[in-house]
Chains A and B, each alone.
Chain A
Amino acid sequence: MAWFGKNRGTDDEAGRAMAQYRQNAWAYALAHKQLPDFVEARLKDAAAAKIPWMSTMQPAELLLAKSHGIRPLATVTGTCWFHYGYSWTDGHVDGWGAAVDRLKREALAVGANAVVDVQMRTVQSKDGRSMDFTLFGTAVKVDGLPPSRDPVIATISALEFVRLLEMGIVVCGISVGTDYNFLDFASGYGNGFGGGSTGGIFGSGPAYQVQQQLRAFGGNVPITELTNFWESIRRKAHAQLRANAKRIGNGVLARTHFGELLRVERDKQPPDYLGRHIVIGTVIETRRGDGIPHHIATVIDMRDELSPLNGGSTGSRNTLDSNNEYSGGI
């Protein structure tokens, strides 16, 4: 009967008022980069162990965390439904950035040192003009450490997190790098790539050369200008990944890559090209040249079916599509 005590529905007058109050509180909190008072209260209670802790950890992870003095506190989340005003590609940086900020706000409220097992989820809207960026994970506290002013965000399982901590490697955040650009006839390489073209359909700019190389009937030819254009986009995305990561750590494990090169047909004129690239990685901080203290034994599993040793990895949980990686065999 406890359900009817605290978890009342919204059918009666008081319930509707409560629902309205909560909605207003969320609107205010998101606008002012705060948490609603009821969330704040719940997280405070969780921090003081007045209510049960809540964790995405599996029992094996709980075991390892406990043995290293790490306690789960609460499941914390951050969400940002983001509308792309001018760029789908760059929206990923801002969308994930906002979600991370909000996740940290909850982690801060619960007095955590870290958020582990952080999973990245996305929901695409039907119209394609906006998208949801959601993060959730388990806020944890290390025995003997004061609450952190800037809790680290670890997109790996609690098991991995503890294993890495032991080796002096701290998984501390998410970094996103993006870039997009147009290769068109009017402006050469859109936003200032290369030397630009002389413009016009009969010019000798990069887009004109692409057109010439594509026409080469019967000949094998690398399409150099398009390749250079495409590589410059990827380089810029990687440079941004690096720059964003540098603010939180000194290494990136980037398992998620997405890129596409689209052709935009135009009436009675040669086509434009749109290239975009997104790369997402887990940021770590570690001392260079630190060894791995554990001995590694080589084993061969004698199980015929899938076993914990040869099936599935718990390493990366990023979910973004990666059509570069799976777009076909070699």
Chain B
Amino acid sequence: MSDINDIPAHALERMKGLRGAANPEGIFTSDFSVNEFLLVRKAGFEPIGLCVGSCIYHLGFQMAGWNTNQEMTTLSQAMYEARELAMSRMRTEAADMGADGIVGVRLTVKRMEWDAKVLEFVAIGTGIVHAAGHEGYKGPQGQPFTSDLSGQDFWTLLQAGYRPLEMVMGSCVYHVAHQGVLKSMGNIGQNVELTNFSQALYDAREIAMERMQNEASAAGAEGVVGVDLHEGSHNWAPHIIEFFAIGTAVIPISTELDPSTIPDPQLVLSVNS
């Protein structure tokens, strides 16, 4: 059964300690797992380098009325601008290395222990190129596309006949009104909806999603996949919440695939659990 022939000759050569001369292009870096690497390759792309952008940002100050529902525009803008700066630096790195796009982008926010008003935003992902030099995968304005899809999801998206255009996002920081004392007293012993809270959350989420959708339209997308809605409070006062919508804007590859040509996933039941 021992079948050494399954292993390509150049792989065996490397195991013997011989370096191949087959790689004049130099070296790539990535943060892929093995399976991600394989699927990006299967999709016809090659990784070329890790792309990172960061931004350390000082958040401005804004007063909110104690009993009003309102958007904290200063904070909304800050959270958006800082992310955008980190993303655009990452995109510049990708463009400099000649990437067609970036997959597996992770966008993180980190609080600085030493200053509550300072946040660090980091965007990191792997720049990839089409192995056969196909130009049609770039994002808007010939810039590298960006996508938070993993290598696996990237392959699957292409199988579905779509390609990623741009990571789109919308941010809204919102102050939820405190209840008046009389109102609170009135609620004692009753099961009631706190309508001002409901309204505030609805409004804030809606604003964040609209902003994301506007970005997708501007990018010329057909739709947005993998939308995620985050609610977070970055060490702010208890009634201030950020709603953040993020997803990958996609567009059909040339023309939309006839759905009948996309293979149905097979249903399986694994028995080796």
Contacts and interface: CB of A to CB of B under 8 A. Distances in A.
Contacts of A230: 54, 56, 120
Contact of B42 (A250, A296, A308): A296
A42 interface: no
Given A164-B34, A302-B269, A327 B108 contact: yes
A327 B89 CA distance: 21
B204 interface: no
Q: Name the residue among B34, B78, B114, B263 with the largest chain A CB count within 10 angstroms.
A: B34
A261 B58 contact: no
A213 interface: yes
Interface string A209-238: 000011011111111001100110011001
Interface in B63-113: 74, 77-78, 81-82, 85, 89, 106-113
A299 B265 contact: yes
Interface string A38-63: 00000000000000000000000000
A252 B27 contact: yes
A26 to B, nearest CB: 28
Contact of A302 (B16, B58, B89, B267): B267
Contacts of B265: 298-300
Interface in A272-317: 281, 284-285, 287-292, 296-303, 305-309, 313, 315-316
Interface stretch (A3-11, A118-126, A145-153, A186-194): A145-153
Contacts of A214: 58, 115, 117-118
Contacts of B270: 301, 303, 307-309
Nearest to B246: A330
Contacts of A308: 270, 272-273
Contact of A330 (B29, B156, B244): B244
* Size class of the contact patch on chain A: 35 or more
Given A144-B4, A217-B61, A257-B124, A329 B27 contact: no
A145 B273 contact: no
Contacts of B12: 142, 145
Contact of B16 (A148, A287, A301, A307): A148
B42 A290 contact: no
B29 A328 contact: no
Nearest to A263: B114
B3 A172 contact: no
A328 B111 contact: yes
Interface of B is mostly: mixed
B58 to A, nearest CB: 5
A52 B58 CA distance: 62
Nearest to B82: A222
Contacts of A35: none
A142 B109 contact: no
Interface stretch (B45-53, B186-194, B215-223): B45-53
A304 to B, nearest CB: 10
Contacts, number: 250
Interface string A46-87: 000000000000000000001111000000000000000000
Nearest to A273: B114
- Size band of the B side of the interface? 35 or more
A315 B110 contact: no
B58 A213 contact: yes
Nearest to A327: B110
A245 B30 CA distance: 12
B32 to A, nearest CB: 5
B122 A168 contact: no
A287 B172 CA distance: 46
B227 interface: no
Nearest to A112: B15
Contacts of B28: 250-252
B57 A223 contact: yes
Interface string A258-276: 0001110000000100000
A145 to B, nearest CB: 6
B131 interface: yes
B107 to A, nearest CB: 5
A152 B3 contact: no
Contacts of A235: 52
B4 A69 contact: yes
A170 B34 CA distance: 12
B23 A290 contact: no
Interface of A: 66-69, 113-114, 142-146, 148-150, 152, 156, 160, 164-170, 172, 213-214, 216-223, 226-227, 230-231, 234-235, 238, 241-242, 245-246, 249-255, 257, 261-263, 271, 281, 284-285, 287-292, 296-303, 305-309, 313, 315-316, 323-325, 327-330
17 contacts: A68-B3, A152-B14, A165-B8, A166-B6, A172-B14, A214-B117, A222-B56, A253-B32, A253-B34, A257-B31, A257-B124, A281-B29, A281-B31, A303-B273, A305-B273, A313-B35, A328-B110
